[in-house]
Amino acid sequence: MPNEKKTVDMVNGPLLKNIWLFAVPLMLTNFLQMLFNAADTVVVGRFAGQQALAAVGATGSLCFFLVAIFNGLSMGSNVLIARYLGAGEEKHVRTAVHTAITMSAISGLFLALLGFFLSRPLLAMMSTPEDIIDMSALYMKIYFVGTFFGLIYNFGASILRAKGDTKRPLYFLFISGLTNVVLNVVFVVFLHLSVAGVAIATVISQALAATLVCTALMRQTDATQLHIRQLGIDFSMAWNIVKIGVPAGLQGIVFSLSNVVIQSSINSFGSSAIVAGNSAAANVECFVYIGLDAFIQACMTFTSQNIGAGRYERAKEIVKLTMVLTVASALGVALLVWGFGNTLLRFYTTDAEVIAVGMIRLTWVCLPLFLNGVLDVFVCSMRGMGFSLLPTIAQIVGICGTRLLWIFTVFPMFRTLTVIYLCYPISWTVTSIIQGIFWRKCHKDMLAKHM
């Protein structure tokens, strides 16, 4: 099958139809990712116990913090390659592909070393409860070995998605995710390896995903084809990726730093039941991102390709369509998750206290998640138009500033979980307003420059 049959035309044809064709495989990919992650948590909670569940959950925000900058570079690669594809600049596409994959491998090695040696000190700084910190540190050390493969997969998948191919990343995730679930059962249920088993299964599945995506890129017949002998860094291209990706990565770092502070506040109650309940609910809550993430990625990639092709007038229409689709999907799924919250949480644990804690989070974080979708659509549109620094500043001020201010001023006066969780919808609302104002400015500047 020619490569073209696997891709969606983002520049020509009806936008709504093509956005759906692009987003549906992404939704299925996100669904499988969440399902496999949920399976990990279910296996740990059911067969390794509450402390093991809390130990894995306590690492989430810290893991995201350490990989954020590199995920930003992956986003930069996607935007840049999509723009070159839209403009028909095949030479630049080839250079960008090989530079991106090389950067992913170098970044993965650096991150593996960083995570391995800093895991326990960082967990201690987060006030991780003493009864789970050793298990959390062990999980993180093994987990970060796999970030080498995880970054290669992320960069490779972003290259395929830049050209409109969202199907093959779905297939690769299904294969690697199913492998992960089977290995979880073997390592945790039968070999009794607890959190170490979950981490080892993750590393193996990420290595499989990286192998599959690299094989697909090597079999391409267009400018996105990967040649091992051509791997290397073109510093001019790397700088272009960095200019787009680093602001997004820095946003992720500061964003996750605020989440680390929130996790530390949750840990400060000194209860593994509270940490476990928060972890289980956060896992369930992730299903709301299935459609949300797919449509915001569509917004960024469609905008970038259309800007590259000189179709500047379509940027506004892309924002409108993806905004409606993002809010509708997020709100619809959130209502379902909240309505069946007790049932869903029982898949993770039978402990009534853990379930009660989980429902508090689902009420105050899950239900208003559509607000996060609103601001993300604005951000991804601006990045697709070539503006990366301005939305980053807005995210840092709006999200992180609001959350940190709340945690350090309001929470000490009213030490409850509800008060902690309220910082999420409040920060999303503030930031959505800021990003909407900035989007209008960026859109006006882009039209003035090109029209």
Checking phi first, is residue 127 left (phi over 0); if not, alpha (psi -120 to 50) or beta?
Answer: left
What gap in Å lies between CA 287 and CA 299, rounded to an integer?
20
Question: Which residue shows structure tokens 């959350």?
Answer: 403
Domain annotation covers residue 4: no
For residue 92, the one-letter residue type is H
At 451 the pLDDT is 65
Judged against a pLDDT cut of 80, whether residue 295 lies above it is answered with: yes
Range of the domain at 102: 9-450
At 6 the pLDDT is 66
What gap in Å lies between CA 176 and CA 181, rounded to an integer?
9
Domain annotation covers residue 87: yes
Domain annotation covers residue 252: yes
Digit-coded pLDDT (tens) for 24-65: 998 988 888 777 776 777 788 777 877 887 778 777 767 777
Judged against a pLDDT cut of 70, whether residue 1 lies above it is answered with: no
Domain annotation covers residue 416: yes
Domain annotation covers residue 265: yes
Domain annotation covers residue 30: yes
At 30 the pLDDT is 81
Judged against a pLDDT cut of 60, whether residue 4 lies above it is answered with: no
Confidence of residue 5 (pLDDT cuts 50, 70, 90): low
Domain annotation covers residue 2: no
Percent of the chain having pLDDT more than 70?
98
At 324 the pLDDT is 96
- What is the pTM for the complete model shown? 0.80
Domain annotation covers residue 3: no
Digit-coded pLDDT (tens) for 88-141: 999 999 999 999 999 999 999 998 998 889 888 988 887 788 888 888 899 889
pLDDT, averaged across the chain: 89
Digit-coded pLDDT (tens) for 339-378: 999 999 998 788 899 999 999 999 999 999 999 999 999 9
Judged against a pLDDT cut of 60, whether residue 157 lies above it is answered with: yes
Count the domains in the chain: 1
